[in-house]
Structure 1
């Protein structure tokens, strides 16, 4: 039985950010089955199918108009650098209507960078958590006070509405969606094709402009790599600080500056991601995976997995392991 690819409509508006526009096509088309079958069909549209100007100095000549949103499984709005959504809190009525109609019939809606302004202007972010490029956070808050904005993360998924931070964070969001749809193994292959890490540590807080740290501060990267090799072991904050040759206080401050997360949050993220990969690619029992990833007990792994992605380990394995029926979970 042949399964049709998931249909993605990329909605380009005038002054669309060039990199944002190309990101969905580049990332999603690298997600394929082992036999080369594509999982996604990505197409670009504009209002009325008319050309729009990009911020990169070229025009976009689309093959589709807003009718593409009528049949799309996912709609993505790239960032923009001008227009009513950015300056007045408004968007063309036909665009708002098309976006709302797509959401109401069950489509997943995504934005990259300042594309969140368009979703907010269409009313799709009211009462939701969302993010956008950190440099536009105050402008966003002034225009869209009903949105719970968090400018410190790379992306946010609130039900079927997903928003990402600036530029490269759009790649992080697309890889996250591939991971949700097809598992870590497919997402990791797509990331390798894009020459990207499958998951970046922390959030965009690490990129916000701040005073240059003192020269005596050193990186925590070595300590993070040390921890990744020992996820099965108990790892205390003082152990991480010792690896970086810092005091606990200095290490904690520097770690958050570099990753946007506390050491404890980062460690939970690493352990959960490793557990997901083992659930997908090994025949280990859930109890064995809990021990190998440092959770210690099945109950602790179940709690973290449910908190982060909303499913139990056994349910996750049934979805993403190639032959879950052969595994005693």
Structure 2
């Protein structure tokens, strides 16, 4: 039996505590336990306490150790020591959501790629600059250490670990028993809006509004400058000062946004979506959407359509 031990670090979401028990416990291949620095009632941030009976000695003979919780707060030193010891002993190490902060505090993510909930990714990167934080993926592995984003992404990571251990059939069984999708890859985006810099000026606002009305046209720098009545050089300088992006970068962001809207709300074929959003061809649409959200246009439409398609 493969022993999975989830180290619970308050404050924690009760849902996060249940994920390892739900996924690994759904198939007869794992012995799943929870432990904490101070066994007993562990407070949660969204409901009643959860009771964790085992102490950190449970980590000693674990094959997989999951850091769960903390909310980004400092974990007890004995927890960090236990995680370091497990890693040194060859255990597979992973974190669910804000558990990435615990692994970071233990020094286990130094020089590695990692992720956490997108809302806290900036904080993780600022506090631990040696970590290559990836805010736009569901989960990531680097050097045998796994980290996941929040909520459902933690389920995806646990299913991925089952798949690594016992293959797709067992992982799919676990997914069916827990009534979740078995197919979401780690590189899929967390489906947050790509953060654009706040606009800091309005002198080119009319030109930006005009461009949004003509995204289906092959707009050039000269077209934008001509509308604004300024030189291309001045346009580029002002555009960057006001948006934090070059004119062409800004156009690409807006075109992908338009394509996503069309995929969600229309039945247009892919070449027409590409044409109406100004991305040119179905191949170009696919390239930019995969780069932006980690899904093909077909997969994006299937997952995010807002009405029943015939």
Greater C-alpha Rg = 2
2: CA distance, partners of 1:128 / 1:215? 33
Report the Cα distance in structure 2 between the residues aligned to 1:210 and 1:162, rounded to whole angstroms: 25
2:50 counterpart of 1:21 = no
Q: 1:59 aligned to 2:92?
A: no
Quick check: 1:219 aligned with 2:248? no
Among candidates 4, 9, 29, match of residue 8 of structure 1:
4
Aligned mates of 2:129, 2:195 — CA distance in 1? 26
Distance 1:115 1:199 in 2: 23
Tell me the residue number matched to 2:89: 105
Q: Matches of 1:50 and 1:137 in 2, distance apart?
A: 31
Q: Which residues of structure 2 form unaligned runs of 5+?
A: 197-253, 300-310
Task: For residue 51 of structure 1, give the secondary structure of its aligned residue in structure 2.
Answer: strand
- How many aligned positions are there? 234
CA contact (8 A) 1:134 1:208 kept: no
Q: Is the 8 A contact 2:36 2:52 kept in 1?
A: yes
Candidates 120, 123, 141, aligned match of 2:107: 123
Shift of 1:221: 10
Cα distance, 1:14 vs structure 2 = 1.6
Q: What's the TM-score once normalised by structure 1's chain length?
A: 0.63
State the shift of 1:203 in Å.
2.3
Partner SS for 1:12: strand
What is aligned with 2:225? none
Describe the shift of the 1:215–1:151 C-alpha distance in structure 2 as closer, same or farther (beyond 3 A): closer
Kept in 2: contact 1:14–1:82 (CA 8 A)? no
8 Å CA contact 1:11, 1:46 repeated in 2: yes
- Partner of 1:61: helix, strand, or coil? strand
Which residue pairs with 1:312 in the alignment?
A: none
CA distance in 2, matches of 1:161, 1:215: 35
Alignment of 1:242-257 (within 5 A): 242=271, 245-247=273-275, 249=279, 252=285, 256=289
1:6-35 CA distances to partner (integer Å, 9 max, x unpaired)?
10111111211111111011011122xxxx
Please give the alpha-carbon distance, in whole angstroms, between the structure 2 residues aligned to 1:142 and 1:216.
Answer: 31
Q: 1:173 to 1:215 in 2, by over 3 A?
A: closer
- The Cα shift of 1:262 comes to 6.2
Q: Secondary structure at the match of 1:15?
A: coil
Given the alignment of the two structures, is residue 261 of structure 1 paired with residue 290 of structure 2, yes or no?
no
- Which residue of the partner structure matches residue 162 of structure 1? 146
Do residues 241 (structure 1) and 270 (structure 2) align? yes
Distance 1:258 1:193, change over 3 A: farther
Q: CA deviation at 1:160?
A: 2.2
Distance 1:94 1:152, change over 3 A: same
For residues 86-235 of structure 1, what are the structure 2 equivalents within 5 Å? 91-200=75-184, 203-208=188-193, 217-219=261-263
Q: Distance in 2 between matches of 1:41 and 1:150?
A: 31
Shift of 1:254: 10
Structure 1 residues without counterparts, runs of 5 or longer: 32-37, 85-90, 224-239, 267-329
1:201-235 deviations in Å (ceiling 9; x for gaps): 65234234769955993227999xxxxxxxxxxxx
Cα 1:156/1:258, change in 2 over 3 Å:
closer
Q: Deviations over 1:36-67 (max 9, x none)?
A: xx101111111032432011221122120000
The answer to whether 1:78 aligns with 2:62 is no
